[in-house]
Amino acid sequence: MKKEKTETNLTDKRKKVICDLVEDSLYVPMKEKELAIFLQVEAKDREELKRILAELVGEGKLECTSKGKYIKGTGKKTVLPAKTGNDRLPVTGTYISHPKGFGFVEIEGQEEDLFVPEGMSGNAFHKDLVEVELLLVSGGKRREAKVVKILERGFTRVVGTFEKSKNFGFVVPDNERFGADIFVPLERSKGAVDGHKVVVELTDYGSSAANGRGKSPEGKVVEIIGHINDPGVDILSIVRGFDLPMEFSEKVLNQAHRVSSPVSEADMAGRMDLRHVQMVTIDGEDAKDLDDAVSVSKEDGIYHLGVHIADVTNYVQENSALDKEAVKRGTSVYLVDRVIPMLPHILSNGICSLNQGEDRLALSCLMDIDEKGKIVNYEIAETVICVDRRMSYTSVKKILEDKDPEECSRYENLVPMFQLMEELALILRKKRRSRGAIDFDFPESKIILDAQGHPTEIKAYERNTATKIIEDFMLVANETVAQHFYWLELPFVYRTHDTPDPEKIQKLSAFINNLGYYIKTVGQARGSILAGKGGKKNTAGAGEIHPKEIQKLLDKIEGTPEEAMISRLTLRSMKQAKYTTESTGHFGLACDFYCHFTSPIRRYPDLQIHRIIKEQLRGRLKEDRIAHYRGILTEVAKHSSEMERRADEAERETEKLKKVEYMEDHLYEEFEGVVSGVTSWGIYVELPSTVEGLVHVSKLPGDYYYYREETYEMVGELTGKTYSLGQVIKVRAVGTDRAARTIDLEIVEGEEENG
């Protein structure tokens, strides 16, 4: 009896320690395995920890999230599903298919998705909205589920290659995630022949079967894009695959024509007239939609910076046909060979573009900045401007970096302003870095195509003084506008970037410690709860990191052999930025307030907040308008984030396609590259041109290799030879696959160096 009482008391003490931990303000939700490590639970006591956690969940003191992490409970008693149980716990999410048969379910608001094993997808296809049943609660691995109901199909149309048989045809989807070829009766093929890229509309999604003999999905051809070898068909297939709207309706175009008349005196009435202020646009040589101009002067130690943004809202009225189309598109899409604009060209390249020597309506953020980078005064105003010169990044670089005599002479009257711009940009950059803003400087790809759309050159697009100046000025304007409207407590759309997942930061920290580097995280020490008495303090805690720690790390590794490796791992630990109606801060920029104000021609959130800004400036934000915006902005932010991700994916796919096509002409040539990724199936190598390919594990020379996850290395079983992130090796391209958009590499033996 005494023994039972002692055990009960010990259990109660252990429960209290766990509850105290979970209720602590610094606690970050952890899985069972993480709790065991954090609390220094010995292996022999892990089952006891599992039992205690189950009891606490049953008592309502803890709750296990869909990610398998433990948080403070609601107090309501529940029954915890067994690890292998099949309790009915329906959860709704989006199914993400994998070509190998398994999949994942993304749950809105949850960071970690659910794993759906092969055979448990319930005939769900990629992007379907599904209801799933949870199968696994804990045990240190990803939460498992099975699909029990399909609520909404993600795809009604699929792009693929038509293949014809004698009595029927079928379409092989371009998207490997779709997971099944689509049967097409010949009478529904629209005359398609072998090799045609087509859009097929699904008429039957088929059925799955445990023996693999389920019914195939069926469809009808609704569009023949062209033959697979015809110029431009490859990119157009990607456009159709992502359902990117190419054409504008006649109604939208007619409205764009009607509103695109020259700026009149009536348009300028009541606006601040800045046409006398010297200002320029600075963009790429081929840019046509110029939506930002800048002006800089200096007086008595104060820089006067003006960031002038095209007043697109003057031409795109809320709820008009133009506005509805812009909402739907969300963003302009910049593909390798074309731009799919958010607004018709007559607006984006015409009256809304800040063209040289033409009067234009603008929203201006006018900032007075001291020599330490502090904004001592600012004003946001409706203005009318006239740009003096349309400058290119190349020209400004020649003036400031190269001191090119010809270029300096050509723009003699503007050179003093450019010099002031360089001064101010350096001050702003230094101030931003001092607070901890993170600056990853990975080069982007610049792909040169010939008239037939064939890639002739691929090179890294490097940032220069001119690109950095514009970046610095846009950042400070975005911050200023966001902060202004935050303190007005008005509905707004912010650009937010959440703090990284502590698990990823802890993993990064553990890895760089082995290399002699250190990052400081916010954590708390706890003793072991299952030792029976006080255990050792554990300083590796569940905590957050300040962006300054990341920037300090990047500074320390600059120029070192491990720079590329650590930079890539650090970038991968970051979260994705998004649009929100709450200002939760921007981790990467180390600031509390940030928005997108500077590109209303190509981003809908910028256009949306311009409306709010103008209504506030005109004193029209009364209760009814505030309620109106509160009612629509959540959906605007969510949809804009989704459209941004779609555009990014489409851009990446077109780049990958053209890189594969480019490498077809460079097979068996040797290149020096950097290991950019290490996985269980091989190592990825990035070439100086930014082209990336895979050396499959089976093709690594001289040994059998295995993946060591904790150090991101591929290790030889016999020799111990390693391939790790950031290592420089010599490779040759030995194969390409346009359909899969992959490049196969092999290591040039005897040439590689062990990093």
Q: All domains of the chain, ordered by start, with CATH?
A: 2-72 (1.10.10), 90-152 (2.40.50.140), 157-230 (2.40.50.700), 250-493+592-653 (no CATH), 666-747 (2.40.50.140)
Residue 73 to residues 13, 57, 89: CA-CA distances in angstroms? 18, 7, 17
Q: Partners of 341 in the beta sheet?
A: none
**Helical segments of 59-143, H only:** none
Position 270 scores a pLDDT of 93
Residue 488, SS3? Answer: coil
- The CA distance from 119 to 104, in Å, is 13
Q: Are 577 and 585 in contact (CB under 8 A)?
A: no
CA angle 41, 13, 8 (to 5 degrees): 105
Q: Which of 484, 465, 374 is nearest to 426 (CA)?
A: 465
- The CA distance from 344 to 68, in Å, is 47
- The CA distance from 348 to 392, in Å, is 18
Backbone angles phi, psi at 600, to 5 degrees: -70, -15
240: alpha, beta or left, given left = phi > 0 and alpha = psi -120 to 50? Answer: alpha
Burial of 221 (0-12, 13-18, 19+ CB in 10 A): buried
Position 661 scores a pLDDT of 95
Residue 454 to residues 195, 312, 358, 682: CA-CA distances in angstroms? 19, 35, 37, 29
Q: Are 702 and 754 in contact (CB under 8 A)?
A: no
Q: Which of 343, 192, 175, 177 is nearest to 253 (CA)?
A: 343
Position 522 scores a pLDDT of 66
Residue 489, SS3? Answer: coil
Q: Which residue has the tokens 């029976």?
A: 532
Q: Are 381 and 617 in contact (CB under 8 A)?
A: yes
Q: Which of 586, 640, 583 is nearest to 608 (CA)?
A: 640
- The CA distance from 54 to 62, in Å, is 9
- The CA distance from 520 to 506, in Å, is 10
Q: What is the mean pLDDT of each run of 10 residues along the chain (755 residues)?
A: 57 83 79 81 82 80 76 59 44 86 83 83 90 66 82 91 90 87 93 93 79 76 93 92 93 94 91 97 89 96 97 96 97 93 94 95 98 96 97 96 95 97 97 88 84 90 90 97 96 94 83 83 46 35 73 85 80 90 93 96 97 97 95 96 95 95 95 90 91 93 87 89 89 92 89 46
- The CA distance from 650 to 222, in Å, is 22
Q: Are 453 and 337 in contact (CB under 8 A)?
A: yes
User: What own/partner pairs with CB < 8 Å and gap ≥ 24 does 316-323 have?
Assistant: 316/259, 316/343, 316/347, 316/607, 318/611, 320/255, 321/249, 321/251, 321/252, 321/255, 322/252, 322/255, 322/256, 322/259, 322/347
Burial 711-733, CB ≥16 within 10 A → b, else e? bbbbbbeeeebbbbbbbebbbbb
Q: Are 158 and 136 in contact (CB under 8 A)?
A: no
- The CA distance from 356 to 520, in Å, is 50
Q: Which of 678, 699, 697 is nearest to 748 (CA)?
A: 699
Position 7 scores a pLDDT of 60
Residue 445, SS3? Answer: strand
Q: Which of 327, 326, 244, 331 is nearest to 635 (CA)?
A: 327
Residue 238 makes CB contacts below 8 A (sequence gap 6+) with 174, 335, 650, 653, 654, 657
Q: Are 200 and 158 in contact (CB under 8 A)?
A: yes
- CA dihedral over 19, 22, 23, 27, signed as positive or negative: positive
Residue 383 identity: T
Q: Which residue has the tokens 């604009």?
A: 341
Tokens of 288: 């046509």
Residue 562 identity: E
Backbone angles phi, psi at 722, to 5 degrees: -125, 150
Position 532 scores a pLDDT of 40
Position 510 scores a pLDDT of 81
